[in-house]
């Protein structure tokens, strides 16, 4: 019977499955970070259990790290304690750790692919919902809670109910100025924040095939914002070209053998999905979120919607609360909204190509008066490569802060936060109330749109953007 990409990976990882119970699934790669792991290690100590597979476990520090210039001074005692706990846990249990001094440190979903740890056909988990990012390589990757982190540390397995499958096909080609970020925001706007709950999503279609690896990561990253268990894209030559030569990728004959095997992963012709959604990429405009979840999104040339136009009372009430929190009036032009802050970063949009795209807009311009803008590379490697290309100079000369790598203002665990009422154009993935700081107002956009907003002081339609001479 023809199988989907998801089914092939799933079937190959079932350790055991008794009827009526979840399957015991083997996990190839377990990534951990400082925020969702300490309680798991604590329980392992209490129960005297060991780490089953140190070779399949890698740790980084990203959520709670400072991003101001080195050398770091971590003033917050509880942050320091959490980072110290990570060092101690990794040492005691034998987990390789990319700590603040490591050249490889960075956001967990940026460094996994960079180091070639993320590969097609794998099962990958992390105590972080954006683990769906790794699905861009044709892997089955999903976020788990801390109890499950502990479970994987101890057993290298997880009990999993098999999710249903959903195909999201993006037909046609996207227009100029429309990025991978716009595609996925559009998808979430169409199917809703719970639209893919219970499903493993596979993105297909011409517009997906045309994406680079970094763009595919942006798409898969935000699968969770539609509620998906996982988001994935079948591997192809783009995938193999990206992976070849990376540190943990197979080398020589092993590489050839791996590629041969990976070529068998894409969904078979005629494979059935439990649900299919077809969308036209050509209809997608640059997107800006206006509300307090990623499904509350509109085209940049649209206006803030009127809650009264919503028939469902729960949705209407929720839109009213969102507009109140965001300080927006129905009918206001999105492109006219003035901003105070700009954040270019996060596991959605902090890779080299994201920074290059933003720098192309920024080159030779200045950040608008009264706007504070920052660029936070996703990893130390991204930062080095960007600096080798002179991007840091472009951003700095324009008035952007050029910072060290980490999650930073994506979730504001470190001191990088919005003040109450500040409006921010952000390339991250969540516009929840208070996500970037209590009372802060987040609008999710692409790196290009964030850059143009920084220079203009308000949102602009990147399709009409003309670089000043």
Partner 1 sequence: MKPFHSITAVAAPLDRPNVDTDQIIPKQFLKSIVRSGLAAGLFYDWRRLPDGRPNPDFVLNQPLYQRAGILLARENFGCGSSREHAPWALKDFGILCIIAPSFADIFYNNCFKNGMLPVILPADAVDELFRAAAARPGLQITVDLAAQSVSLAEGRGFHFELDAYRKQCLLEGLDDIALTLRHEAAITAFEARI
Q: Of the two residues 138 and 286, which places its CB atom closer to partner 1 in the complex?
A: 138
For 353, how many CA atoms within 13 A lie in the half-sphere containing its CB?
14
Tokens at residue 209, please? 């095939």
Q: Is the peptide bond before 364 cis (omega within 30 degrees of 0)?
A: no
**Dihedral sign (CA 145, 146, 149, 154):** negative
- The interface region with partner 1, picked from 30-38, 164-172, 385-393, 398-406 by CB under 8 A, is 30-38
Residue closest to 100 by CA, chosen among 129, 62, 131: 62
* Residue closer to ligand SF4 (CB basis): 305 or 377: 377
Tokens of 218: 């942006």
- Residue 346, binding choice from partner 1, ligand SF4, none, Cβ under 5 to 8 Å by partner class: ligand SF4
Helices (H) and strands (E) in the chain, counts: 15, 19
Buried-state track 329-359, b at ≥16 Cβ within 10 A, e below 16? eeeeebbebebbbbbbbbbbbbbbbbbbbbb
Task: Give kind and range of the element (H or E) at residue 423.
Answer: strand 423-426
CB nearer to ligand SF4: pick between 128 and 416: 128
Residues making contact with ligand SF4 (CB under 6 A):
62-63, 107, 109, 128, 130, 346-347, 407, 410-411, 428-429
Q: Is 138 in the site for partner 1 (CB under 8 A)?
A: no
CB 31 within 8 Å of CB 108 = yes
Closer Cβ to partner 1, 177 or 305, answer by number: 305
Length of the chain: 469
> Least distance in Å: CB of 313 to ligand SF4?
31
| Residues in 424-453 that interact with partner 1 by CB under 8 A | 430, 432-435, 438-439
Q: Does 155 bind partner 1 (CB under 8 A)?
A: yes
**Binding-site size, partner 1 (CB under 8 A):** 64
Cα 270–chain centre separation: 30
Six token digits for residue 437: 């700081």
At its nearest, how many Å lie between partner 1 and the CB of residue 81?
A: 6
Cβ of residue 146: shortest distance to partner 1, in angstroms? 4
The answer to whether residue 144 forms part of the interface with partner 1 (CB under 8 A) is: yes
CB of 289 to partner 1, least distance (A): 13
Q: How far apart are CA 32 and CA 40, in angstroms?
A: 11
Q: Please give the residue ranges that form the binding site for partner 1 (CB under 8 A).
A: 15-16, 20-22, 24, 26, 35-36, 38-39, 42, 47, 49, 63-64, 76, 78-79, 81-82, 85, 127-129, 143-148, 150-151, 154-157, 159, 161, 193-194, 197-198, 224, 227, 229, 293, 295, 314-315, 317-318, 321, 411-413, 420, 430, 432-435, 438-439
């Amino acid at each position: 019977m023809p199988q989907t990409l998801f089914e092939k990976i799933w079937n190959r990882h079932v350790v055991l499955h008794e009827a009526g119970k979840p399957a015991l699934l083997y996990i190839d790669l377990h990534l951990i970070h400082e925020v969702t792991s300490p309680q798991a290690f604590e329980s392992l100590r209490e129960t005297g259990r060991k780490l089953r597979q140190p070779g399949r476990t890698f740790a980084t520090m990203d959520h709670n790290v400072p991003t101001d210039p080195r050398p770091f001074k971590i003033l917050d005692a509880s942050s320091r304690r959490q980072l110290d706990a990570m060092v101690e846990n990794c040492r005691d249990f034998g987990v390789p750790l990319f700590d603040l001094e490591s050249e490889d440190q960075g956001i967990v979903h940026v460094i996994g692919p960079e180091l070639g740890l993320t590969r097609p056909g794998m099962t990958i988990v992390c105590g972080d919902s954006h683990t769906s990012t790794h699905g861009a390589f044709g892997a089955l990757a999903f976020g788990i809670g801390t109890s499950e982190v502990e479970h994987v540390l101890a057993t290298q397995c997880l009990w999993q109910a098999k999710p249903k499958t959903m195909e999201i096909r993006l037909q046609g080609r996207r227009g100029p100025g429309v990025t991978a970020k716009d595609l996925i925001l559009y998808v979430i706007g169409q199917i809703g924040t719970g639209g893919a709950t219970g499903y493993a999503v596979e993105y297909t279609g011409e517009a997906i095939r045309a994406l680079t690896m970094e763009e595919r990561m942006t798409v898969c990253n935000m699968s969770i914002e539609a509620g998906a268990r996982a988001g994935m894209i079948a591997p192809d030559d783009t995938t193999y070209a990206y992976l070849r030569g990376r540190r943990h990728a197979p080398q020589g004959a092993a590489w050839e053998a791996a590629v041969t095997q990976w070529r068998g992963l894409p969904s078979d012709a005629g494979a059935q999905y439990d649900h299919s959604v077809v969308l036209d990429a050509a209809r997608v405009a640059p997107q800006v979120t206006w509300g307090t979840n990623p499904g509350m999104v509109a085209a940049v040339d649209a206006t803030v919607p009127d809650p009264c136009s919503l028939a469902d009372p729960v949705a209407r009430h929720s839109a009213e609360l969102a507009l109140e929190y965001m300080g927006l009036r129905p009918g206001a032009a999105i492109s006219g909204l003035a901003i105070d802050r700009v954040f270019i970063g996060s596991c959605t949009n902090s890779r080299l190509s994201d920074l290059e795209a933003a720098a192309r807009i920024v080159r030779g311009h200045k950040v608008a008066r009264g706007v504070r803008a920052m660029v936070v590379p996703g990893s130390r490697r991204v930062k080095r490569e960007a600096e080798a290309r002179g991007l840091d100079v472009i951003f700095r000369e324009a008035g952007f802060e050029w910072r060290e790598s980490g999650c930073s203002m994506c979730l504001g665990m470190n001191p990088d936060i919005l003040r109450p009422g500040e409006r921010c154009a952000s390339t991250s993935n969540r516009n929840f109330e208070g996500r970037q700081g209590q009372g802060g107002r987040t609008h999710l956009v692409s790196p290009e749109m964030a850059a143009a907003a920084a220079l203009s002081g308000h949102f602009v339609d990147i399709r009409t953007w003309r670089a000043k001479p």
